[in-house]
Amino acid sequence: MAGEMTILGSSVLALLLAGYLAQQYLPPPKPKVIGVDLGTTYCSVGVFLPGSGRVLVIADKAGRKSLPSVVSFTGREVLAGYAAQELADVNPLNTIYDAKRFIGKLYTPEELRNESSRYQFKVLYNEGRAEFSVPANETWRITPEFVGSRLLLELKRMAEEQLGIPVSKAVISVPADFDERQRNYTVRAAKMAGLDVLRVINEPTAAAMAYGLHKAEVFNVLVVDLGGGTLDVSLLIKQGGMFLTRAMAGNNQLGGQDFNQRLLQFLFERVHERHGVLPSHQQDIHRLRQAEE
């Protein structure tokens, strides 16, 4: 009997030791949920690594950790990200950007005219909603959430290549001032890309958590988010490790793109001063825009 107990005890010890060694030396489980920042001008995707507790922002094959929020239609294919950005100046009517400004929003015809006057592509009014007219080969009417879905598909593909497993679940951040409709249409874009959204989180809250402030001895946090298309300022209060938005302010017409546009205007003026003409060839404008960036 004593011998049997000794053998049983040795077996249990061996199993415990095997489990310990497996935890120490076997690779950690693959992340199954991606986090997505679907920005106005750039977007990115990351994962939480269970083994190390770190967050990995996923890069593309060129090592770039952000993707331009641009989608271009050529008649043969739909391009997203850097490939689409390259066509922005040579294929302007079929290249859509800033779709996040329009997603889920309701407009009067006059409001939409004012909002869309800055763009070369055509924005149509459809019962209060914005749609994009894409004349590649035949005229298509494209919704903002479809544009978002193409970007999410590209981010999903990047994550799957990096992780080596299929990805179907996501957490997506949105501006704090997005209403329920805008959030729902963002979720709709994710579903079109084959993603199940587990949670929609406010961007200021995501920023505060990224800095570890949910664990720090702070109670009030002011988050200033100067993005590519908007400026958002949010006052957060911490309650039980969670952040609640106390107050918000901002300007949805002020961001990095607006700075770029002013710089481009300055370059146009300098070219005119030196050479007496304004740049008009699309290739020249494209080169100026790249130099400015």
Per annotation, catalytic residue among 89, 98, 100, 232: 100
Q: Is position 1 within any domain? A: no
Q: Is 225 one of the annotated active-site residues of the chain? A: yes
Q: Among 22-36, 121-135, 139-153, 186-200, whose mean pLDDT is lowest?
A: 22-36
Q: pLDDT tens digit string along 168-213?
A: 999 999 988 899 999 999 999 999 999 999 999 988 888 888 888 7
Q: Is 98 one of the annotated active-site residues of the chain? A: no
Q: How confident is the model at residue 143 (pLDDT cuts 50, 70, 90)?
A: very high
Same domain, 181 and 288: no
At 253, give phi and psi (nearest 5°). -120, 20
Same domain, 282 and 180: no
Same domain, 171 and 271: no
% of the chain residues with pLDDT over 90: 48
Give me the pLDDT at residue 192, please. Answer: 97
- 180, HSE (Cβ side, Cα atoms, 13 Å): 0
Quote the pTM value. 0.81
Q: How many domains does the chain have?
A: 2
Same domain, 274 and 202: no
Q: Is 284 one of the annotated active-site residues of the chain? A: no
Report which of 106, 267, 250 is spatially closest to residue 177, judged by C-alpha positions.
Answer: 250
Give me the pLDDT at residue 217, please. Answer: 79
Give me the pLDDT at residue 282, please. Answer: 66
Domain range enclosing 286? 259-292
Same domain, 71 and 198: yes
Report which of 192, 164, 189, 195 is spatially closest to residue 103, judged by C-alpha positions.
Answer: 189
At 26, give phi and psi (nearest 5°). -75, 150
Q: Is position 18 within any domain? A: no
Same domain, 192 and 288: no
Q: How far is CA 273 from CA 46, 205, 209, 277, 288, in A?
A: 46, 47, 49, 8, 16
Per annotation, catalytic residue among 131, 203, 232, 238: 203
Per annotation, catalytic residue among 89, 145, 154, 225: 225
- If one compares 49 and 128, the residue with the highest pLDDT of the two is 128
Q: Among 26-30, 192-196, 232-236, 286-290, whose mean pLDDT is lowest?
A: 26-30
Q: Is position 39 within any domain? A: yes
Q: pLDDT tens digit string along 73-83?
A: 998 899 999 99
Give me the pLDDT at residue 22, please. Answer: 52
Q: Is position 203 within any domain? A: yes
Q: Is position 26 within any domain? A: no
Q: Is position 25 within any domain? A: no
Same domain, 165 and 143: yes
Q: pLDDT tens digit string along 208-247?
A: 888 887 777 778 889 998 888 888 899 999 887 788 888 9
Q: Is position 170 within any domain? A: yes
Give me the pLDDT at residue 25, please. Answer: 55
Same domain, 270 and 225: no
pLDDT for residue 151 is more than 70: yes
Q: State in Å, rounded, how far the first CA of the chain is from the last one.
A: 79
Same domain, 104 and 188: yes
pLDDT for residue 28 is more than 80: no
Kindly report the average pLDDT of the chain as a whole number: 86
Q: Is 273 one of the annotated active-site residues of the chain? A: no
Q: How confident is the model at residue 9 (pLDDT cuts 50, 70, 90)?
A: very low
Same domain, 268 and 186: no
Same domain, 215 and 285: no
